Amino acid sequence: MCDTLGVLADRLDQARPFAKHRHQKPVLDVVIRLLAMPGGIDAVYQFAPRLDAAGLFHGSDWDHPDILLSQIVGRTLESPDKLIVALEATSLLRLLAIAQGRGAHPNVHAEHARHFLTQVLALNLRSFFATSDEAERASGADTQLRARLLRYIADHVGLRDVLGVLIAEIWRILEQRPIQVGPVKEMITEIAIALNQQGSEPGSERLGAERLVNALFGPTSGCIDDPGIDAYRERLSHMDDAGLLREATGFARAMHDTGLVSDYHAGFLRFAAEHQDALLVPESLGLGQTGQDCWRHYRDLVLELIEMAVTVETPQSVYGLALLLERGVLHYSPIAPALSRQIRLRLHDAVRDRLGLAFGGTITPEARLLAGVLDVLGQPLGVGQGANPTCQSARAIAVWALNDPDFLLHLIVQAGEFDTVLMHFEGQPINSADLPAGLAAGAPIDADPVSVLLVPHLDRVYAEMGRLCALRGGDPHRWINPEFHGWWVARECLVAVDVATGDLDDFEGFVTRFYESYHPQFNGARPVIHPQPAGVAVTDANARFVGWHAIAILRAAADQNGRMRIYFYNPNNDSGQDWGDGVTVSTSGNGERHGEASLSFEQFASRLYLFHDDPVPPRQSISPVPRHLIAEVEAMARQSWAAERGNRPVTLVGAS
């Protein structure tokens, strides 16, 4: 059978791209038979990189492993179409080979592959632990194949204690406080079922699992048995003041501990708001001094926001509201009236359809969008680009929410009411409704409601700005970024490479200027006032160049060990990445605030290729940057993304 697969793989490899589809089915027929045989999964694993290179996935979603969604893998493996099952299984084994260093793909590095496989295991724990119900028993061999495949992956990834590893992974993701927590909640649900059916030994893993499960399904004594929302509300009506206060405190503690909000918490907050309780509302939100002050000044508005946006379908809006109040955003005079306008917004029919398609129709699109607004304003650094090539738009939304929230609300109203966004480039109006689709051809998937609304428009506007300055020479982001993001973007743009050739261009001067601009020791201890757009050359765990990526520099500061670091916002859903050669992006433990990523100053500089600075005269009084620091950064760059930048042309696309 393996010999046959080898022959068919050769034929597939030799076929022209337009003829690949004729040779794929015979390969998949052999793969599905092999998978059912003893040792067959291992045989397909050995062939997987070869099949990938030969074009087995050509013309299918699996040809783009960087945008695959872990949450649909389990359902795909249950497909009645055997060819689909064979494709999914081979894709997983292809990713396993990449994670193990036996394979390579231009858009997926080893750490990404390992992360994806870990999520697949988390979302299919019942299959992994071989628990079964009547439906699974009826499916027979298909269920056995799925379980064997998942166990094979776990064995090779090295998950001796799957539960412990998955819990650590969930906590690592939650530490970054993403807005989109659907996949995490699905993982925790699977863990809860596995614990109930399988149990586990006492220990830190069990404790970590129970903290997560309780945060979702029983964060307080009043709902610890997970009675259901209606039963819980009935209990609330019979509690005394002390009991209600304990519930409020328990909800707030669980929410701020994990960044997750239980459906019961949303139900409790609505109960407290309906009773106009001046104590329970701020207590259940866990407000500090600033948040309490906002609550007192804007109580009627907050109660209206709760009534319109906080539902059991949108529980995370509770956390967004709490952090919005804690940020003190309501004290910025345009925000309160802008939120009142948002409450009364009536959406364009096309926008309603788009939001309904993305999130379903259990609540109105207006309520869904308002909940999303609370999330984004409360957690600006929790905005993620999802499985979409739109890092610039995601970065813009996050930075506006952080730095210019009234402008963001202005854009949301434009897009919501009229299904268009009007911006300007050097005085020239740009209307997104008049432009062709950009990188985001339709509404983005796997994104928050504000992103689903805005990203298609922002992507078109960004592309049009690029077109308007394409003939000027040099990197177009010099002109685009200040016009697109706002006045506070520094007007000088430094680029490490020649745009025409992709070769390094005065890299020593580039790095020196970055130190003089951002390092407190060499810039007179001037802080970063506004987030600044920047571009990094992303590399994989083997330090190989992957692509250009848009980020925002937030601040430069010393960590607890006194080492100077750059703290930045990465629109990737998960910022913890291994960029190779010892450069591992940190998301906690080195002075990061929720949502920030960080690297030591020299490591960040080694992956930086574009940044903005104010055009000012040389600063004679500040100490010069030592040449050994510049040499260290240049060496790290040349060992990674710039390894061949002196002798081969590269066309810059994408990015900052």
Using one digit for the tens of pLDDT, what is the confidence trace for 198-211? 655 555 566 778 89
Answer for the pair 496, 474: CB distance below 8 angstroms, yes or no: no
Q: pLDDT by residue (tens digit) across 322-345?
A: 999 999 999 999 999 999 999 999
Amino acid at position 364, single letter: T
Q: CA of 365: how far to CAs of 172, 179, 344, 603, in Å?
A: 32, 18, 12, 44
Give the helix/strand (H/E) hosting 399: helix 391-403
Q: Which of 264-273, 311-320, 634-643 has the lowest mean pLDDT?
A: 634-643
The Cα 534–Cα 564 span in angstroms is 18
Q: Cite the DSSP H helix spans in 176-262.
A: 182-198, 204-217, 229-236, 241-258
- What share of the chain in percent tops pLDDT 70? 91
- The answer for 341, left when phi > 0, alpha when psi is -120 to 50, beta otherwise, is alpha
Asked if the bond preceding 655 is cis, omega within 30° of 0, the reply is yes
Lowest-confidence pick of 28-32, 153-157, 567-571:
153-157
Range with the poorest average pLDDT among 82-86, 130-134, 362-366: 130-134
Between 574 and 435, the higher pLDDT residue: 435
Judged against a pLDDT cut of 60, whether residue 591 lies above it is answered with yes
The whole-number average pLDDT for the span 603-625 is 83
- Out of 159-168, 381-390, 449-458, 587-596, pick the least confident: 159-168
Cβ atoms of 393 and 459 within 8 Å: the answer is yes
Residue 135: pLDDT above 50? no
Distance CA(429)–CA(436), nearest Å, equals 16
Query: How far, in Å, CA of 268 to CA of 274, rounded?
Result: 10
**270/540: higher pLDDT:** 270
Residue 478 near residue 656 (C-beta atoms within 8 A): no
> Is residue 430 within 8 Å of residue 395, measured between CB atoms?
no
Model pLDDT, residue 486? 94
Tell which wins on pLDDT, 217 or 20. 217
What lies within 8 Å, CB to CB, of 207 at 6+ separation is none
What is the spatial distance between Cα 379 and Cα 382, in angstroms, rounded to a whole number?
5
pLDDT at 649 (0 to 100): 38
What was the pLDDT predicted at 555?
A: 97
Position with higher pLDDT, 118 vs 95: 95
334 contacts: CB under 8 Å, gap ≥ 6 = 406, 409
CA 513 – CA 486 distance, rounded (Å) = 23
Tokens of 59: 């013309």
Cβ contacts of residue 620 below 8 Å, gap of 6+? none
Rounded to 5°, the CA angle 11-17-18 comes to 105
- 3-33 burial, b for 16+ CB within 10 Å, e for fewer? eebeebbeebeebeeeebeebbeebbbbbbe
| Distances 442 to 335, 355, 412, 523 between C-alpha atoms, Å | 30, 12, 17, 44
pLDDT at residue 137, rounded to an integer: 35
What is the rounded CA–CA span in Å between residue 48 and residue 407? 49
* Mean pLDDT (whole number) for 130-142: 41
pLDDT(250) > 60: yes
Give backbone dihedrals phi and psi of 551, rounded to 5 degrees, phi first.
Answer: -135, 180
**Average pLDDT of the chain to the nearest whole number:** 89
Region 123-136: what's the mean pLDDT? 52
Handedness of CA 81, 87, 90, 92 (dihedral sign): negative
pLDDT digits (tens, 9 = 90+) for 262-309: 999 999 999 999 998 889 999 999 999 999 999 999 999 999 999 999
**The two structure tokens encoding residue 257:** 């501990």
Task: Decide: 132 and 125 in contact? Cβ < 8 Å.
Answer: no
User: Whole-angstrom distance between the N-terminal and C-terminal Cα of the chain?
Assistant: 49
243 token code pair: 């009991």
Report which residue type is found at 322: A
How large is the greatest C-alpha to C-alpha distance in the chain, in angstroms?
79
Q: How far apart are CA 513 and CA 622, in angstroms?
A: 13
Contacts with 439 (C-beta within 8 Å, 6 or more apart), sequence order: 388, 389, 390, 459, 463
Q: What percent of the chain has pLDDT over 90?
A: 62
The 10 Å Cβ neighbour count of residue 584 is 14
Is a pLDDT exceeding 50 seen at residue 131?
A: no
Instruction: Read off the amino acid at residue 349.
Output: D
Separation between Cα atoms, residue 554 and residue 551, nearest integer Å: 9
Supply the pLDDT for residue 139.
46
- Return the number of other C-beta atoms located less than 10 Å from residue 407's C-beta: 15
Q: What is the pLDDT of residue 499?
A: 84
CB 341 within 8 A of CB 417: no
